[in-house]
Chain A
Amino acid sequence: MKIKRMFAAVSAVMVASAALSGCTGNAAGNADGSLTLYTYEEAGAAALLEQQLENFTEETGIEVDVNNVPGTGAAVYPGKLRTALAGGKGPDVWRIWGGSLGQPFASDGLALDLKDYWDEYQWDELFPQSAKDAMSVDGATYGIPVVSNRIVAWYSKSAFEEAGIAEEPSTYEELVAANEKLVAAGIVPFGTGGELGWHVMRLFEYLLEKNAGPELHDQLLAGTADWDAPQVVQAFAELKEWSDQGWLPEGVMGLDPSQEEAGFTQGKYAYTIAGGWGDTEYVQRASDPSDYGVFALPTDQDPIRQSGWVEGYMINGASPNKDNAAKLLDWLAQPETLKALGVGNTPVVGAEPDAAQYPLSAEVAEIAATSPFYTIQDQAFPAELSNSYFEVQSQVIQGQLSPEDAAEKLQQLVPAGLQQ
């Protein structure tokens, strides 16, 4: 009996230990000067990156080991990166979003303040101030901004033609009319998935920009305006309308956005809303890239703005190979490298996409060059607040919250969430 008790006690300790031990360090780098790079490229871009990094190694003698986490978006990648850093085996260089997603890596002292390298490599000549600001925290710049994304609509010309839509919508009314024609033709208009929250959020923030306008929208994101305003209520009412009218896929809140976004090139949907990767990841892989077009979502506002954000590379503050890492950053920021990588959506001066080879990327670059942007909401808000925000949108789509109640709930959530 005594032995059995002892066995039970040891078993209990073992079970408890096994359950808890997963929950528990930040040095990086290799003694030979080689580098580790964390990124989140999709398959096509990842292959190009590997190929180009071989050229970098040939030029500099610095080996780069790439750890790629594709298709996860902001929901998983920052956690993986942080885990690697906490475990003491973090990468020397990592790719990250700007705004609230990249900010913790800067403010926690994980990323290196790039001031010295910025001056040494004269990066001011490559990056516009606005892009630099997006990778800065409290006046210090922690990353180089190599990607500047704008959310625009990517559509199938044949789907539009089949539905009798002659022109790209230039007003919200025309977009609604296009949706109605597509549904009447048996085509689901907008390819999106709400499983991770942020893809449906792109639709809602567009509706909010359309209804609230630039000034109020910015105030809402900053927590200085009331979220129970009639414009927010109207945006929620329209979100519900998009769902109820069949303009979104059936069961949208259970669908994986990374799978649904590509649906406009697979005949599932007429269009989606995505950043510059829409060209390289979807259109260029389609059997006939000329069958696709792109347009700025019509907001009926002046100026017309798009949701946008900046992505770039940071250097691990604990890396023993900081100089090599800076060399890699400088190489990644060169217009020739960006062109070879097929990155058309970049703020880097001189890296504009080739309109003959990538006409849609050139069009998106033109939209970005001629119109301002507002920070995409999941980067404007802290992660916890974003999660609550997604939940409210889900509840509106499912009819559990009225537009008025949803706006009221955000009035309770957002100012408090922004203060934390």
Chain B
Amino acid sequence: MSTASSVPARTARRRLDEMSQHPWLFVLPAFSVYVIFLVSPALQSVGISFTDWNGVSPDAVFVGLDNYAHIFQDPVAMLALRNNGIWSVVTISVPIALGLSLAVLLNGSSRLMPLLRTIFYMPAVLPLVAVGAIWGWLYDPSRGSVNEILRSLGLGALAQPWLGQDSTALAAVIVAAVWVHTGFPMLIYLAALQGIPLELYESARVDGANRWQQFWHITMPGLRSAHAIVLALSIIDSFKVFDLIFAMTNGGPGNTTQVLGTWMFVNVFQYFNVGYGTAVAVIITIAALAFGIPYVLAQLRSEKR
């Protein structure tokens, strides 16, 4: 009996061994979908970025790298690039720091914790356009809650047309972005915290480690893979910024809050400079990859060690 059952088991193992020699067979179905529906149009887009195509005309003239060169001569594109930089730094670092802090604070077993976690995560499930509308109302210069609260506290001098002046518009949108982006890292960190054995903390306490030492030497190393996921996704997400800016300021006042995503949209869909707008899209992608991929690779290497 045991001999009879071991034959199919051996056969199955042999087939598995044979298949493991060809891992691409497993990847092929999903990869084919990506090639047909994502890679191919993406390569087509790169091709368009080397032309002066207007979006509908049957003719498009090959212009080489002109569109890319123009980006660096275009003051609005440069402003958008700078805004992307500011946006990325703030909307990556602040939500991660807040998310981590909240996760550590909410990692207890009190009955209130699930409710608090839900409250803090809720903004993350809202559509960004709805978030834009909500914060647009809050920032309304004459009737918005932000200025109303300031006035009721006797701080009326600090009341501002938050979205209506160059000096505060970008910062005001970034605040909304931080609000909406904090829930995701919090959730990832909460899940990762569950995976850190409590015994490590117990033995650390026995050894006399204080809370900060426990956090720094147990919690932080235990969250390494969570850091990699949160940071990589946050970086890629930050370079794709479009919705909130579009909904709250439409890139204004003037062009003050343009980011590369909105400037690409304006060029492709309002100016009909599809070639140029696509070049901007390529730059966004390259930037996201340039920052995102090395970090992920570094994390993978350190995990390996």
> Footprint of B on A, CB under 8 Å?
1, 3-4, 6, 8, 10-26, 75-76, 78-80, 82-83, 85-86, 104, 108-110, 194-197, 249-256, 383-384, 387, 390-392, 394-395, 398, 400
Partner of B284, one of A19, A196, A391: A19
Known A24-B48, A82-B55, A195-B253; further 10 A-B contacts with Cβ < 8 A: A12-B293, A16-B42, A21-B42, A23-B41, A78-B270, A83-B269, A86-B56, A253-B254, A394-B166, A394-B252
Q: Is the CB of B270 within 8 A of A75?
A: yes
Taking the closest CB of chain A, its distance from the CB of B174, in whole angstroms, is: 15
Q: Is the CB of A390 within 8 A of B254?
A: yes
Q: Given the known inter-chain contacts A75-B270, A251-B165, A254-B169, please indicate yes or no for A21 contacting B37, CB distance below 8 A.
A: yes
Q: Is the CB of A24 within 8 A of B271?
A: no
B128 adjacent to chain A (CB < 8 Å): no
Q: Which residue of B lies closest to A385 (CB)?
A: B271
Q: Which residue of A lies closest to B160 (CB)?
A: A251
Q: In the complex, which residues of chain B have a beta carbon less than 8 angstroms from the beta carbon of A21?
A: 37-38, 41-42, 45
Q: Is the CB of A10 within 8 A of B27?
A: yes
Q: Is the CB of B296 within 8 A of A20?
A: no
Report the separation of the CA atoms of residues A250 and B250 in the bound assembly, to the nearest whole angstrom.
18
Taking the closest CB of chain A, its distance from the CB of B43, in whole angstroms, is: 8
Q: In the complex, which residues of chain B have a beta carbon less than 8 angstroms from the beta carbon of A253?
A: 161, 164-165, 252-254
Q: Which residue of B lies closest to A401 (CB)?
A: B254
Which bucket holds chain B's interface residue count? 35 or more
Q: In the complex, which residues of chain A have a beta carbon less than 8 angstroms from the beta carbon of B161?
A: 250-254
Q: Is the CB of A108 within 8 A of B164?
A: no
Q: Is the CB of A394 within 8 A of B55?
A: no
Q: Is the CB of B266 within 8 A of A387?
A: yes
Q: Given the known inter-chain contacts A17-B42, A20-B282, A254-B163, please indicate yes or no for A195 contacting B250, CB distance below 8 A.
A: yes
Q: In the complex, which residues of chain A have a beta carbon less than 8 angstroms from the beta carbon of B48?
A: 23-24
Report the separation of the CA atoms of residues A252 and B162 in the bound assembly, to the nearest whole angstrom.
11
Report the separation of the CA atoms of residues A395 and B161 in the bound assembly, to the nearest whole angstrom.
15
Q: In the complex, which residues of chain A have a beta carbon less than 8 angstroms from the beta carbon of B165?
A: 251, 253-254, 398
Report the separation of the CA atoms of residues A197 and B160 in the bound assembly, to the nearest whole angstrom.
20
Q: Given the known inter-chain contacts A13-B34, A254-B165, please indicate yes or no for A4 contacting B300, CB distance below 8 A.
A: yes
Report the separation of the CA atoms of residues A254 and B139 in the bound assembly, to the nearest whole angstrom.
9
Q: Which residue of A lies closest to B285 (CB)?
A: A19
Q: Is the CB of B272 within 8 A of A20?
A: no
Report the separation of the CA atoms of residues A252 and B271 in the bound assembly, to the nearest whole angstrom.
25
Q: Is the CB of B255 within 8 A of A391?
A: yes
Partner of A79, one of B39, B58, B269: B269
Taking the closest CB of chain B, its distance from the CB of A372, in whole angstroms, is: 29
Report the separation of the CA atoms of residues A305 and B160 in the bound assembly, to the nearest whole angstrom.
37
Taking the closest CB of chain B, its distance from the CB of A272, in whole angstroms, is: 16
Taking the closest CB of chain B, its distance from the CB of A373, in whole angstroms, is: 25
Interface centre among B27, B162, B252 (most CB of A within 10 A): B252
Partner of B236, one of A6, A15, A26, A195: A15
Q: In the complex, which residues of chain B have a beta carbon less than 8 angstroms from the beta carbon of A395?
A: 166, 254
| Interface of chain B residues 236 through 270 with chain A (CB within 8 A) | 236, 240, 249-250, 252-255, 264-266, 268-270
Q: Is the CB of B250 within 8 A of A23?
A: no
Q: In the complex, which residues of chain B have a beta carbon less than 8 angstroms from the beta carbon of A196?
A: 250, 252
Q: Is the CB of A8 within 8 A of B56?
A: no
Q: Given the known inter-chain contacts A21-B42, A108-B54, A195-B252, please indicate yes or no for A383 contacting B162, CB distance below 8 A.
A: no
| B264-305 vs A, Cβ < 8 Å mask (1 yes, 0 no) | 111011111110011001101100110011001100100010
Q: Is the CB of A3 within 8 A of B271?
A: no
Report the separation of the CA atoms of residues A23 and B242 in the bound assembly, to the nearest whole angstrom.
14
Q: In the complex, which residues of chain A have a beta carbon less than 8 angstroms from the beta carbon of B296?
A: 8, 11
Q: Is the CB of B270 within 8 A of A251?
A: no
B136 adjacent to chain A (CB < 8 Å): yes
| B154-187 vs A, Cβ < 8 Å mask (1 yes, 0 no) | 0000001111111001000000000000000000
Partner of B240, one of A19, A26, A398: A19
Interface centre among A80, A110, A394 (most CB of B within 10 A): A394
B23 adjacent to chain A (CB < 8 Å): yes
Q: Is the CB of A82 within 8 A of B269?
A: yes
Q: In the complex, which residues of chain A have a beta carbon less than 8 angstroms from the beta carbon of B304?
A: 1, 4
Q: Is the CB of B46 within 8 A of A20?
A: yes
Q: In the complex, which residues of chain A have a beta carbon less than 8 angstroms from the beta carbon of B255?
A: 387, 391
| Interface of chain B residues 120 through 171 with chain A (CB within 8 A) | 136, 139-142, 160-166, 169
Interface centre among B37, B46, B254 (most CB of A within 10 A): B254
Report the separation of the CA atoms of residues A82 and B140 in the bound assembly, to the nearest whole angstrom.
33
Q: Which residue of A lies closest to B297 (CB)?
A: A8
Q: Which residue of B lies closest to A9 (CB)?
A: B293
Q: Is the CB of A195 within 8 A of B39?
A: no
Q: Which residue of A lies closest to B159 (CB)?
A: A250
Q: Is the CB of B55 within 8 A of A86?
A: yes
Partner of A82, one of B31, B41, B272: B272
Taking the closest CB of chain A, its distance from the CB of B83, in whole angstroms, is: 15
Q: Which residue of B lies closest to A1 (CB)?
A: B304
Report the separation of the CA atoms of residues A23 and B44 in the bound assembly, to the nearest whole angstrom.
9
Q: Given the known inter-chain contacts A83-B269, A387-B266, A395-B254, please indicate yes or no for A15 contacting B289, CB distance below 8 A.
A: yes
Taking the closest CB of chain B, its distance from the CB of A185, in whole angstroms, is: 16
B109 adjacent to chain A (CB < 8 Å): no
| B1-41 vs A, Cβ < 8 Å mask (1 yes, 0 no) | 00000000000000000000001000100010010011101
A-B contact pairs, 14 of them (CB 8 A): A15-B292, A17-B39, A20-B281, A22-B281, A83-B55, A86-B55, A194-B164, A195-B252, A250-B141, A251-B160, A251-B161, A254-B169, A254-B249, A398-B165
B194 adjacent to chain A (CB < 8 Å): no
Q: Given the known inter-chain contacts A82-B55, A249-B142, please indicate yes or no for A24 contacting B270, CB distance below 8 A.
A: no
Q: Is the CB of A17 within 8 A of B271?
A: no
